[in-house]
Structure 1
Amino acid sequence: MTGTGGARPDPAAVLLVDDHRVFADALAIGVAAQPDLTCAAVAYTAAAARAALAGAAIDAAIDVALVDLDLPDDSGMRLVEEFAARRPVIVLTAHPRLDLARRAAAAGAAGFLAKDAPLPEILAAVRAALAGSAVRSWETDTDVHLTARELEVLSGLGRGRDATRIAADLGISVHTTRDHIRALLAKLGVHSQLDAVVTADRLRLIAVGTAI
């Protein structure tokens, strides 16, 4: 949304629709951390997404929607059709197939991304959609080979631990732990620890949020 009277523009409001709560909540944190974006609502079902847009004021406040195609109560593609008439919609899917991309485009989607895309790529797609550009990507990286130690470090990151705590848990130095983290980022093709956790969760390398 844009402010009036020459004021600084308000952050663009993003609606996240995804039944994978860990992914959706992590993405919401990533969106909220951007100075030009804000997470207006997170919906885990199609019904909740529609409810978030039920009021005229709320509907007008949503600038862009990120929609998963796999929802427990309805077709995400149907939501794309409904929402795209009023605002840009970006599809995030665990099944980045060309046929689905074409259907999403026909339904009005401005973007089509694999859910294991790095956070910067998702944010770039959001900004491009807000600017009126179309962003579609069908690339996915499912061939990631990690060592046993790298998996242990990754698991620690998934539990919200920093390098110092992970080093203490594994009985290795902080320097070595940071080397493993750098190797993880390179292998996962990401640029931050948050991106690594989100991507690893989508690839089922770790289970984020499990009890310690």
Structure 2
Amino acid sequence: MDNLSEAATRTEAQCAVSVVAPLRSALASALLTALVDRGWPAEPGAVCSREVAWRGRYVVVTDDDIDTVHLDVPTVLGRPGVVVVTSVQALSSLVPLVDRGALVLDRAAPFLVLLGLVELGLAGRCRNDSEAVRRRAAEHCALATLTDAERVTLRSLAAGLSAATIATGSHHSVHTVRSHIRSILVKLGVQSQLAAVAVARRAGPEWDASNTLHIATFGDVRP
């Protein structure tokens, strides 16, 4: 983001930004510090959900740093100027907020990518594509059904390896690897290896870390 767009973005902030998160969330603290450093009028210190009036601009971090504490995010936050930083596990429950205009981001994205998108979301200049978010949530559920061997095979396909190369590296026969691939296609509901690899590449750094913007927003974004 250049200096002019940064200045315009901050000018649009009509009220202080509050960062809402479970106590002792390192990610929430880092985002709050960075927003203050970049000139956003932020409330001092992150607050927990029971103290929030839910008016104004918010960055909501739904999970703590070990993904054991969750915040309930009210539907009133489904509006531009609100950013929810979450894990893909919680994505399906947040689709109504996306439909209403909130920006939902993946906490697993690189921090600087995340910060830039948070600023755009607070200014109401960026929102998720609702259909892409729905697809990403469904794909996450499908990927969770893969066996360990199928996961290894899919990651290898995403890395560009052939079935023969995967077989050599995994000490399986080519027939077994191809059986894994057929099972992957069925479970993901796709018709080709290329389509399966596309699912993996949308799924985040666990599967493929090459497209950080796409990962951070759970799919495409629009103004």
User: Under a length normalisation based on structure 2, what TM-score does the superposition of the two structures give?
Assistant: 0.43
- In proportion to residue count, which structure has more helix? 2
RCO (CA 8 Å, sep 6+): is it higher in 1 or 2? Answer: 2
